[in-house]
Chains A and B, each alone.
Chain A
């Protein structure tokens, strides 16, 4: 008996020891180029903000790197036959970091807050959405019309503690001022310190509902380092473990040739476009179509960008739902471009102004120069204006007056969710003209009708066919030149595992990240 007790004690001690070993240790050090706008996920969901928000906050479901929807705070869900009701069963073992319970009431409060603020966090939610509490752990969403990407959009609504929000509410602001820098959610990491434009520190949440049983970092330090070369040097010197936004081919080669590092291409939903404002010569769709045939797409991606991207078929990335491999790939055909310009009455050529923001997006520099060179061959004189200020650039391309800003501009577009419904295809819906995202002032009745219909179509096959048809319309009446999708790399030391970016360009989950050797 005594021997049995001895062994039992030994086993128990061993278990305690194992648990102790499994506690998060070490620090994951990250270099990022831009800081988060706010910690409040209902106010802003820009990729840099999401990077911070994914520490303290979680969503009902999550879209993983394959584009599939997986359970997060909701264990399971059912969709009614008419696709108007979505019923979610919530996890029972979740609490917010302030100790308040996570339940159906909390979910309803979050949707009320998100839609009540009506800011960036609510941008993908369908109009007329009603949230009904069925019981403590069951919540039902009732839609006014079928909305196919609804499940994907739920990955953008993060759960904030209603107790925290209510107790810090000032003048009906839903606690916005306080939550701007004081996140309270259910997530794996808590925001420990935030020195704006310098760094923020996320420390592990000891009461996290998933528990801690792997080689998770105890703290995550994200430093804001604007210069790409400095980020690279920090990584090479071992001062950081992960560097975001390393895009130069030479820098990537340096890392790829060093066995201590890895540069992992991410499944990118981003597509690089040359967008055209529907004014002057671009009011004629033949001129816009001519622009499609100017770029030598394959040599741009193969030679200029050294294979770090590829041409797309149609207008969206292969990483997101709706990509159609039967659509034609972008290709150069200068004689076709010349013929279209002649047909449109531009036999003596035309001049256009092309805006770039190379400080934000270095790839546009070689792109715009190549485009200018090739366009000159068909009599199109391109004047490149590289804008230094983000505000000037965005102010010009999103101006509410179609006659303001450039004729053409280069921009990369992320879908935001795993569907082209919001962007890029949603950008060209005629009702989204500035201050919306249709900076082109694009308008096509047939396209609009399909866009509305696709949003209401639950059947994925039928919806994919509509997205395909919409892209065929765009090929004949293009608002932009889809240059292709470029690879986004996550650069890190070999000791970092489990870090991945979603198709929207932000991190999927900090919890999955582990550090070897800690």
Chain B
């Protein structure tokens, strides 16, 4: 098993490296002038030339790539063309905001999606199933940014619609982890904590609606498939209670595809975070990435992609480990 994990780990590193190569050359292929975007449309030719020189944009692409990789191996992601700050510092600052939003929303969509899916499968054809399916179809088909705008309209009077915290309250605690909920709570700053919580509601709700709908739908079909299997019929014919059949036989076997789905859900979540953070002006890595793409800020784009790739492949690695925990019979060769 250890050799499997080593091979898997090596594969993940290669995947991330490939992502840097692809992203670097893709961003270079897009026509544009990042120096002019960074300087502003009215900037003089001298300003643009200075930025180009400072950022090494006047050098051949291959040289730029070599320089980038040399820096990367030293743990330096380069300097953002737009913010002029080290990309690593930018990401270190933005990532906790996205993690906070993603984890906070997962506290809701994960149990809700699982319960909804199982409930619908067990009560297939009932009114609960019909209503839940209608919700799932709606949640899957509505664009996330549209849901975000709708939520803003509906709840905007009662809750803050943009940002992470009331700016006046952001002075009342010290940034330690960057996870505001944690930082404010551990430092006993209740007003700041409540402000962060209220700012989280709308973006998290948007992600919850989209994720619950998708997860619920997938879980339903997985559990339904297992419930129709012959061994379930056998279990029932043995006189086992419906509860035992469901929890001991059905859910356990449905767990592996469900774990896969949750892993895949992460990819969707990352894509949605880009949209949700833009609409709610949430200062996370998604908004940072969007701004970087619009400005063709190469170091920031690659830094963002690299970070997201690491999260994604890391999550898949954890999914692999969970397979083993869920079903020890799974063989790794």
Residues of A within 8 A of B (CB): 27, 31, 37-38, 43-49, 118-120, 122-123, 180, 195-199, 201, 221, 223-227, 229-230, 233-234, 236-237, 239, 359, 388-396, 398-399, 404, 411, 414, 416, 423, 434-437
Across the interface, do A392 and B45 meet the contact criterion of CB distance under 8 Å?
no
Across the interface, do A233 and B152 meet the contact criterion of CB distance under 8 Å?
yes
Whole-angstrom distance between the alpha carbons of A488 and B288 in the complex? 28
- Chain B, 128-178, CB within 8 A of any chain A CB: 149, 152-153, 156-157, 160-164, 167-168
Across the interface, do A48 and B42 meet the contact criterion of CB distance under 8 Å?
no
Q: B31 at the A/B interface (Cβ < 8 Å)? A: yes
Q: Using CB atoms, name the residue of chain B closest to A396.
A: B31
Known contacts A221-B167, A389-B296; A395/B281 CB under 8 A:
no
Across the interface, do B278 and A43 meet the contact criterion of CB distance under 8 Å?
no
Say whether chain A's binding surface is mostly helix, strand, loop, or mixed.
Answer: loop
Q: B260 at the A/B interface (Cβ < 8 Å)? A: no
Known contacts A389-B32, A391-B296; A414/B42 CB under 8 A:
yes
Task: List the A side residues contacting B281 at CB < 8 Å.
Answer: 198, 223-227, 230
- What would 17 more interface pairs be, CB under 8 Å, given A416-B42, A423-B42? A27-B168, A44-B43, A46-B42, A197-B287, A230-B161, A230-B279, A230-B281, A233-B152, A233-B156, A237-B157, A239-B161, A388-B293, A389-B32, A389-B293, A391-B34, A394-B32, A394-B33
Q: Using CB atoms, name the residue of chain B closest to A393.
A: B32
Whole-angstrom distance between the alpha carbons of A46 and B83 in the complex? 15
Across the interface, do B83 and A120 meet the contact criterion of CB distance under 8 Å?
no
Instruction: Report B215 CB to chain A, min CB distance, Å.
Output: 27
Whole-angstrom distance between the alpha carbons of A201 and B31 in the complex? 36
- Chain B, 88-125, CB within 8 A of any chain A CB: none
Across the interface, do B294 and A223 meet the contact criterion of CB distance under 8 Å?
no
Across the interface, do B43 and A395 meet the contact criterion of CB distance under 8 Å?
no
Task: List the B side residues contacting A389 at CB < 8 Å.
Answer: 30, 32, 37, 293-296
Whole-angstrom distance between the alpha carbons of A27 and B167 in the complex? 11
Q: B75 at the A/B interface (Cβ < 8 Å)? A: no
Residues of B within 8 A of A (CB): 30-34, 36-50, 83-85, 149, 152-153, 156-157, 160-164, 167-168, 278-281, 283, 287-288, 291, 293-297
Whole-angstrom distance between the alpha carbons of A392 and B27 in the complex? 11
**30 A-B contact pairs sorted by A residue (CB < 8 Å):** A27-B168, A38-B84, A43-B47, A44-B43, A46-B39, A119-B46, A119-B50, A120-B43, A123-B44, A197-B288, A197-B291, A201-B167, A221-B167, A223-B162, A223-B281, A225-B162, A226-B278, A226-B287, A227-B281, A234-B161, A234-B162, A388-B294, A389-B37, A389-B293, A391-B33, A391-B36, A392-B32, A394-B41, A395-B296, A416-B42
Task: List the A side residues contacting B164 at CB < 8 Å.
Answer: 198
Known contacts A197-B83, A199-B163, A395-B32; A227/B279 CB under 8 A:
yes
- Selected from B32, B39, B278, B294, the residue in CB contact (under 8 A) with A227 is B278
Instruction: Report A248 CB to chain B, min CB distance, Å.
Output: 13
Across the interface, do A392 and B30 meet the contact criterion of CB distance under 8 Å?
yes
Whole-angstrom distance between the alpha carbons of A198 and B162 in the complex? 10
Task: List the B side residues contacting A37 at CB < 8 Å.
Answer: 38-40
Q: Specify which of B37, B281, B291 lies most central, judged by the most chain A CB atoms within 10 Å of its CB.
A: B281
Whole-angstrom distance between the alpha carbons of A494 and B113 in the complex? 46
Task: List the A side residues contacting B38 at CB < 8 Å.
Answer: 37
Q: Specify which of B41, B49, B168, B296 lies most central, judged by the most chain A CB atoms within 10 Å of its CB.
A: B41
Q: Using CB atoms, name the residue of chain A closest to B160.
A: A239
Q: Specify which of A226, A398, A414 lies most central, judged by the most chain B CB atoms within 10 Å of its CB.
A: A226
Instruction: Report B227 CB to chain A, min CB distance, Å.
Output: 44
Across the interface, do B32 and A230 meet the contact criterion of CB distance under 8 Å?
no
Task: List the B side residues contacting A225 at CB < 8 Å.
Answer: 162, 281
Q: Using CB atoms, name the residue of chain A closest to B52.
A: A435
Task: List the B side residues contacting A201 at CB < 8 Å.
Answer: 167
